[in-house]
Structure 1
Amino acid sequence: MGMIENMRNKFDRYYQTLKYLKKSQIKYLVHNRLTGRKKAATSAQAPAYGDLPLWIPRLDQHPDYRKRFSVEELLEGKVTLLHESGHPGGTGWREPEKSHLWNFNLHYLEFLIPLAAAWREEPDRKYYECFRDYCRRWIEDNREGTGDGWHPYTISLRLTNLWICLDGFGEVVREDKEFFRQLNDSMYAQYLHLQKRLELHLLGNHYFENLKAVMLGALYFKEPGVYDAYKIRLGDEIAEQILPDGVHYERSLMYHKLILEDLMRTAKAVKPADRLLYQELLGTIQKMADAMYSLEEGLGRTPLFNDAGDNVARSMTSLLAALREEFLITPVPGQAFPDAGYYCLHGKNIKILMDAGEIAPSYMPGHGHCDALSFELSWCGKPLLVNSGTGQYQGELRPYFRSTAAHNTVVIDGEEQSECWGEHRVARRISQVSGQAEGDRIRGKLLTCTGKPQGRSIEWNGQSVEIWDQVHGFAQAYFHLAPGFFYEEQDRKAQIRSEAGDLVCTVQVAPGDHITVHRQGRICSYASEFGRIEQTEVLEVSWPADGSEHMIQLNFTETRKNI
């Protein structure tokens, strides 16, 4: 009976996952399973090639970006990505001891951009020759046409990064005629293979990257028919993926910034040849810039809702600088983003961002977390109360980082808000989600995947934040501290102090509440960046909820000391 029950549960989980997919996704899933992955044709001859003006100094030479990579290490053959280091080489550039995410990132060849940045500052041939060596080795070591290097997503990002590098290095590449021909032939083979392997089964940001890369490739390889066809397809995806409020529909602010960067580079590339598309893209870029600035400004880093981290997309600071310099765009701040479900609250020295939106687009929830009605709070421009982040796509902590308890929200009767499983799957999920902002108050409500109602209101009252929760059952509210702060327990309250011991605020709970401060264990895991996991302190407030409103109050100190 136990085995039969397990089979039923497994079948139900798959059904609850698959029923949200588009029919076209199921069609291509079946097609891919039946046909398997054929080897890519790794040899081709580029018929023609031109220029793609993709280099953006404020992005590619910005200190926020360049500090992610060590040029000296690159010159020695060592590559550090996501806080892990390796030496690329061998068939397929596969490093089994590294995570799949690390291997994927290696094949993006993004680490070559800092070499072009170094060249532009000091035209020492060692930077160019190092770039050329990595490119030649990648071409030679990936001739089998299989593995991560020939995945459509890695091709999409690698082609774009190589075109950025070509623009960055300038004439020195074109003067190296034999290598330039070899590189263009390889890129053309990748471009052709990508058109055969579009990620139509997955869609989302992967499919967006596919379309963008092919359209840019058609410009570069001077294939106007392909350009026209993919311009239409990319336009359709922009209309679907960028919500009316300007937020990317996967509701990850990290992916939002990645797609914004894509559109900025695409606009710069098409400006000389397609002014109409350029103007259309500027409108979308403005909306996305407004959303990015409104949601992130004052929080101190990328907001950690859904899959997100601070060392993947370009920094907001560099994006804002590039938007001003390249497009004369300045963001217009807002408070409410109802299509995505994000709402901002500003007070004296504080900013709060709350999520009262769907877990993700229904057919593409792979980057979604159980973070509904969670919030992040910054104090004097620094993160104070934070969601736990992501850290990894593969590994034992992946289920935790997606769980309800990993976020500043409420667990009801020990159940998850949504049924996240595997690395990127969601079965049953939250529903009837809504939110609104009213002056100094933001609020939201939903039904969990088991039908339990949950409501939350957050209000700023001059010197305190009131958090009103409305649930029925055994409630556990979590308050995750950012690194650099700690809890000090007192009778029915907990004080938040800085590392120097200065009082930041006092968490006051209701009579009958039970408080627990977690200082070790999985629940204290925190990852503001991919590949780096820290331990922080977490306050748990629990109470037997009867459906009436319950308040937890954060009373802040008058002045900031040595925080």
Structure 2
Amino acid sequence: MKIVLKRDRQTGRQIVAVLEQLLIGSGHLLRLFHTVRHLRGEQIAYRLYYRLARPLVARQALASITALPRRSWVRPWVAPLVAPRSQVDQGVFEFLGERGCVETAGDWNAVNKTKLWLYNLHYLDDLNAVDADARPDQQGWLIRRWIDDNPPLAGHGWEPYPLSLRIGNLVKWCARQTQVSPEWLVSMGRQAQALAAQEERHILANHLFANGKALTFAGAFFAGDQGGRWLKSGLRILDREISEQFLPDGGHFELSPMYHSTLLWDMCDLVNLAERSGVPELLERAAAWRGVIERGLTWLESMCHPDGEISFFNDAAFGIAPQFQPIKAYAGALGCLGSKGLTEVLSCTHLRDTGYIAVLLGQGGKALLDVAAVGPTYQPGHAHADTLGFELSLFGQRVLVNSGTSRYGEDTERQRQRSTAAHNTVEIDGEDSSEVWAGFRVARRARPSVPDIWREPGMEGEELRIRCAHDGYRRLPGRPIHQRQWTFATGRLRMIDSLSGQFRKAVCRFYLHPDVQVAGNQELHLQSGHRILWSVSGGAANVVPSTWHPQFGACVPSHCIEIQFDSAELIVDFSWK
């Protein structure tokens, strides 16, 4: 007898409801269930494979390898060197605001450094940093030292993500040299082989993209059968991931302006690689890649503040990814130009696929609104619980900012920075709108409605109104819904936060940039001398000390306007001249 299970949305919801009831007594198991149920089968299968088949993976990575011939390129590698110098002196490195030294082989895996710091050490980004070509002896020392101190599959440096970034850096460096040590070439081949044996299909998203880019670079650099296999593997990954990860509105699907910037630079690298290597398989894809770059440039410009830097939605910080202007210049040198951005006051761009809205306010003013879902569903590791949050610049200066990101890991500060309470939105009953946990996991997620965007005549001219709601708090006993409406007019902004359903406590927060001075009588002063007035109806406001985290390792004192709801509706007005 053959049993057929017919699965539709209603059936799926019923199954989830039954499982929730079974797990309701264990908060951790329930949270784990709501995290794991979004994973793809591929992720689960590869996680099991890498755990159970480690000896097989090791044999594949350590298979014998001989000297590999280099491909003949049309032109040597040339690209902008914009990354900050990380090797401040020979053997002395600075990452994430912290210095460290490589004096012994053990320093590459030092127990007194975070894993993220050690990852940065193993990337060898300094090979393509500012003035890297003016320091050939130092760079040669760095490559030799890494090879000597890091035997195959030993330590953090042989994990697939640092392997991916280092392979790209080594190829770029070696492709600029007239002669390369055979020992280095063998090591590069060994690293590519190790990466090919452990593609990050258990993680997917930007990690798998990085694997694909690295294998493509290795395959374009090395000739012969082995180089051809790496090229084929890399392009197979990229063909799938580029179309999936870059959405039709141009944005990267992890919804982080920082990661978008990183991958947009990677796309420029791929087009550059096609032109300089002359590899036919790359050249036939270059036109499509240029289209991704052009759409990505337009998206990134929309998501930058008037100061030219990225906004802080989800995991985002300065100093990690290239800035917008260098990316634009690199893309322009490759013949890629984005569309012109907003120019008219109170004009708005709705980035429908990624879920952001940019509003141009004039006189150096811009608002960036988050009406996005947590995505991608199967890999929301860089997501924050920031639904219906926003950032605001006025007169070319940041005024309202999200928390930023100063660290990864699983500690309480990482959890706080991802929480709803660290963003310019509403927290209900002390809970997060999406259940962020364990550093890079999300259980139940807020689902925003399709935003309404319309214009109406106002007392002092036309008004732009945007309204959206989300159901992230429906899991709470009172099943509340949060709706926010922004009303933009010349020189002012009104927000109406409405809560339906039952709740015990609700708090709305507005985080001020550290350069914004808090004055009396609900007044804010900007460095430019401009003043901003604010008022509240339906709640009790206090200005409390806070912090802002614009870079990894950075914690800058600031202030937060914290408003306790008195009823189910809160109205907050900001005005400026």
Please classify the TM superposition score into its range, dividing by the shorter chain length: 0.7 to 0.9
Equivalences for 1:480-519 in 2 at 5 Å? 480-490=511-521, 494-498=522-526, 502-510=529-537, 512-519=538-545
Give the CA RMSD over aligned residues.
Answer: 2.3
Identify the match of residue 574 of structure 2 among 532, 535, 554.
554
Cα distance, 1:300 vs structure 2:
4.1
Equivalences for 1:109-148 in 2 at 5 Å? 109-114=124-129, 117-119=131-133, 127-148=135-156
Partners of 2:376 and 2:323 in 1: CA distance? 25
Quickly say closer, same or farther: Cα 1:209–1:551, change in 2 above 3 A.
Answer: same
Q: Is contact 1:358–1:433 with CA below 8 Å preserved after alignment?
A: no
Partners of 2:336 and 2:233 in 1: CA distance? 29
Q: Is contact 1:291–1:333 with CA below 8 Å preserved after alignment?
A: no
Identify the match of residue 240 of structure 1 among 244, 258, 276.
244
Partners of 1:483 and 1:81 in 2: CA distance? 23
Equivalences for 1:91-102 in 2 at 5 Å? 91=106, 93-102=108-117
Partners of 1:309 and 1:280 in 2: CA distance? 29
In structure 2, the residue matched to 1:21 is 39
Identify the match of residue 424 of structure 1 among 436, 440, 463.
440
Whether 1:34 and 2:52 are equivalent positions in the alignment is yes
In structure 2, the residue matched to 1:561 is none
Equivalences for 1:49-68 in 2 at 5 Å? 49-50=70-71, 55-57=77-79, 59-60=80-81, 62=82, 65=83, 68=84
Partners of 1:56 and 1:351 in 2: CA distance? 36
Q: Structure 1 length as normaliser, TM-score?
A: 0.87
Cα distance, 1:267 vs structure 2:
1.0
Cα distance, 1:268 vs structure 2:
1.1
Cα distance, 1:489 vs structure 2:
4.0
Q: Is contact 1:419–1:427 with CA below 8 Å preserved after alignment?
A: yes
Partners of 1:487 and 1:22 in 2: CA distance? 48
Equivalences for 1:271-282 in 2 at 5 Å? 271=275, 272-274=278-280, 275-282=283-290
Identify the match of residue 401 of structure 2 among 386, 391, 399.
386
Equivalences for 1:53-92 in 2 at 5 Å? 55-57=77-79, 59-60=80-81, 62=82, 65=83, 68-69=84-85, 73-74=88-89, 76-88=90-102, 89-91=104-106
In structure 2, the residue matched to 1:442 is 466
In structure 2, the residue matched to 1:151 is 159
What one-letter code is carried by the residue in structure 1 that aligns with 2:96?
A: L
Quickly say closer, same or farther: Cα 1:285–1:54, change in 2 above 3 A.
Answer: farther
What one-letter code is carried by the residue in structure 2 that aligns with 1:108?
A: Y
What one-letter code is carried by the residue in structure 2 that aligns with 1:147?
A: G
In structure 2, the residue matched to 1:535 is 557
Cα distance, 1:144 vs structure 2:
4.8
Identify the match of residue 8 of structure 1 among 19, 26, 30.
26
SS at match of 2:26: helix
Whether 1:414 and 2:430 are equivalent positions in the alignment is yes
Q: Is contact 1:336–1:437 with CA below 8 Å preserved after alignment?
A: no
Equivalences for 1:161-560 in 2 at 5 Å? 161-167=169-175, 169-171=176-178, 174=179, 177=180, 180-222=181-223, 223-271=227-275, 272-274=278-280, 275-333=283-341, 335-349=349-363, 350-394=365-409, 395-438=411-454, 440-449=464-473, 450=475, 451-472=479-500, 473=503, 474-490=505-521, 494-498=522-526, 502-510=529-537, 512-519=538-545, 524-546=546-568, 548=569, 550-556=570-576, 558=577
What one-letter code is carried by the residue in structure 1 that aligns with 2:519?
A: E
Partners of 2:140 and 2:380 in 1: CA distance? 39
Q: Is contact 2:68–2:185 with CA below 8 Å preserved after alignment?
A: no
Partners of 1:107 and 1:31 in 2: CA distance? 26
Cα distance, 1:413 vs structure 2:
2.3
Partners of 1:56 and 1:437 in 2: CA distance? 45
Q: Is contact 2:68–2:222 with CA below 8 Å preserved after alignment?
A: yes
In structure 1, the residue matched to 2:17 is none
Q: Larger relative CO (CA 8 A, sep 6+): 1 or 2?
A: 1
Q: Is contact 2:86–2:126 with CA below 8 Å preserved after alignment?
A: no
Partners of 1:35 and 1:367 in 2: CA distance? 28
SS at match of 2:38: coil
SS at match of 2:127: helix
Q: Deviations over 1:253-295 (max 9, x none)?
A: 1000111111110111123233320111111111111101111
Identify the match of residue 47 of structure 1 among 57, 64, 68.
68
SS at match of 1:455: strand
SS at match of 1:401: helix
Q: Is contact 1:338–1:435 with CA below 8 Å preserved after alignment?
A: no
Partners of 1:198 and 1:80 in 2: CA distance? 29
In structure 1, the residue matched to 2:4 is none
Cα distance, 1:332 vs structure 2:
3.2
Q: Deviations over 1:135-155 (max 9, x none)?
A: 111011111522210010000
What one-letter code is carried by the residue in structure 1 that aligns with 2:108?
A: W
Cα distance, 1:498 vs structure 2:
3.2
Partners of 1:486 and 1:433 in 2: CA distance? 35
Q: Is contact 1:359–1:430 with CA below 8 Å preserved after alignment?
A: yes
Cα distance, 1:230 vs structure 2:
3.3
SS at match of 2:303: helix
Q: Is contact 1:300–1:378 with CA below 8 Å preserved after alignment?
A: no
Q: Structure 2 length as normaliser, TM-score?
A: 0.85
Q: Is contact 2:132–2:139 with CA below 8 Å preserved after alignment?
A: no
Q: Is contact 2:123–2:169 with CA below 8 Å preserved after alignment?
A: yes
Cα distance, 1:54 vs structure 2:
8.2
Farther-moved stretch of structure 1 (244-253 vs 535-544): 535-544
Quickly say closer, same or farther: Cα 1:181–1:421, change in 2 above 3 A.
Answer: same
Cα distance, 1:92 vs structure 2:
6.6
Q: Deviations over 1:77-133 (max 9, x none)?
A: 211111111112423711222211111111111022237x343xx5xxxx1111111
Quickly say closer, same or farther: Cα 1:36–1:273, change in 2 above 3 A.
Answer: closer
Q: Is contact 1:17–1:426 with CA below 8 Å preserved after alignment?
A: yes
Cα distance, 1:531 vs structure 2:
1.5
Partners of 1:188 and 1:554 in 2: CA distance? 59
In structure 1, the residue matched to 2:9 is none
Farther-moved stretch of structure 1 (399-408 vs 527-536): 527-536
In structure 1, the residue matched to 2:460 is none
Q: Is contact 1:467–1:551 with CA below 8 Å preserved after alignment?
A: yes
Q: Is contact 2:294–2:339 with CA below 8 Å preserved after alignment?
A: yes
What one-letter code is carried by the residue in structure 2 that aligns with 1:198?
A: E
Partners of 1:462 and 1:97 in 2: CA distance? 53
What one-letter code is carried by the residue in structure 2 that aligns with 1:401?
A: Q
Cα distance, 1:380 vs structure 2:
2.0
Partners of 1:545 and 1:240 in 2: CA distance? 43
Cα distance, 1:234 vs structure 2:
1.0
Q: Is contact 1:508–1:555 with CA below 8 Å preserved after alignment?
A: no
Partners of 1:107 and 1:427 in 2: CA distance? 32
Q: Is contact 2:23–2:29 with CA below 8 Å preserved after alignment?
A: no
Partners of 1:43 and 1:83 in 2: CA distance? 40
Partners of 2:448 and 2:336 in 1: CA distance? 40
